[in-house]
Amino acid sequence: MPRMQILNPLEREAFETPPMFTSVQRKQHFDFPVGVQRTAASLRTPANQLAFLLTCGYFAATKRFFPVQTFHPRDRGYVADHAGLGKEPIDLTLYDQQIMARHRAVILDYHGFRPFEAASCPGLLEEVARLVHAQLKPKVIFWRCVDVLVREKVEVSGYFRLAALILRAVNRRNWTLIATCERTLTPEMRARLDPLLTQEPAEAGGVPGRTTAYKLTGLKKFSQSTKPAKVKARVADLDLLAGLYHQLQPALTALVLTHEGIQYYAHSVLKADVFQLTRRRAGHRYLHLIAFLAHQYYRLQDNLVAVLLGTLQSFHNSALREHKEQCYLRRAQHALALQQLVGSFETGLAALTTIQAGSPINREILDHGRFKGVC
């Protein structure tokens, strides 16, 4: 297995050096109890006193120890002034390794912590195994390890020891999965997986010597187009993936991969070239292919459902827009018909009014009606 880089160089440097305190934090962490001050005062040399106090302050803040050459000058000056060690620079290279080990044991005992030993912290090993099984990112596992050590009151180790612990757990998990693949894959299953990594000759009539693309390459990316030809091609891919998925279901069940685990191994295939996969051990290669096929089967279903929903939404919007346009047109036609009807009424009334006003017979009838009304 390749060496794993959990933290990048900047993150690793920040983890391996003491924190940069503000003035408030410096007062907080370097304000030592009387017992610690008496222990420091009993030491023989200023170098031992200063290194002991700095180590104690850094441990109170981070629950881990740092090399003396990484101690910050401001912290050194602050502690030296408050401990009454004088203004002269103190050479911390005179701090003996054996004395340092004894001082660290005293500091651990004072804070109620134990020295870091992976075997003596079963809670850490169980947590790492659980997180690796859940296929979390190594960086997440690393910081969870730090939290577990602090919770269990165990000294936080350096970067490389924790990284090695995580790498061993990852390797054990990988080898377990590879062994499961090799045990559960039948010859028929292998025969369905191997063609994904081979090229077939081009069809008759093509350019001599030219080959088609790998089947695996065609299954890596899915179009989002709603054109019938594109959708039909994706449906054919779904049929292929469905057949492979159902045939490989016993192996996938035996692997007991979480969704994150399937995604982790599938992304490795998505990023890798075919020749990189073919160079891997058979069990390792099959593990990645099974996870990849399951992941792409799920993705393509989501893809086609999204296309269906998008098409239905587009049809719904078009129907709604057409319905509104028809409503507006019918409303305009109704308004026009009503306007024409009102115009016809107005024309008829105007004609009647004209007839009534201009006819002598109509005036006599009107006058006779008024006379009867008076009588």
Give the model confidence (pLDDT) of 100-140 as tens digits.
999 999 999 999 999 998 666 788 989 999 999 988 889 99
Q: Are residues 222 and 150 in the same domain?
A: no
The verdict on residue 299 lying in a domain is: yes
Confidence of residue 213 (pLDDT cuts 50, 70, 90): confident
pLDDT tens digit sequence for 248-293: 999 999 999 989 889 989 998 999 888 888 888 888 999 999 999 9
> Which CA distances in Å does 375 have to 340, 362, 363?
45, 20, 18
The verdict on residue 291 lying in a domain is: yes
Cα dihedral 250→251→257→260 (10° resolution): -100
Q: Are residues 228 and 305 in the same domain?
A: yes
63: left (phi over 0), alpha (psi -120 to 50) or beta: left
Domain total of the chain: 4
How high is the pLDDT of residue 363? 54
The verdict on residue 69 lying in a domain is: yes
Q: Are residues 305 and 230 in the same domain?
A: yes
Answer whether residue 374 shows pLDDT above 50.
no
Q: Is the pTM of this model over 0.75?
A: no
Q: Are residues 72 and 128 in the same domain?
A: no
Q: Are residues 13 and 98 in the same domain?
A: yes
Q: Are residues 72 and 153 in the same domain?
A: no
What is the domain extent for residue 313? 215-318
pLDDT tens digit sequence for 147-187: 999 999 999 999 999 999 999 999 999 999 999 999 999 99
Greater model confidence, 89 or 112: 112
Considering the chain, what percentage of its residues have pLDDT values greater than 90? 62
pLDDT tens digit sequence for 186-203: 999 999 999 998 876 655
Q: Is 246 exposed, middle or buried (0-12, 13-18, 19+ CB in 10 A)?
A: exposed
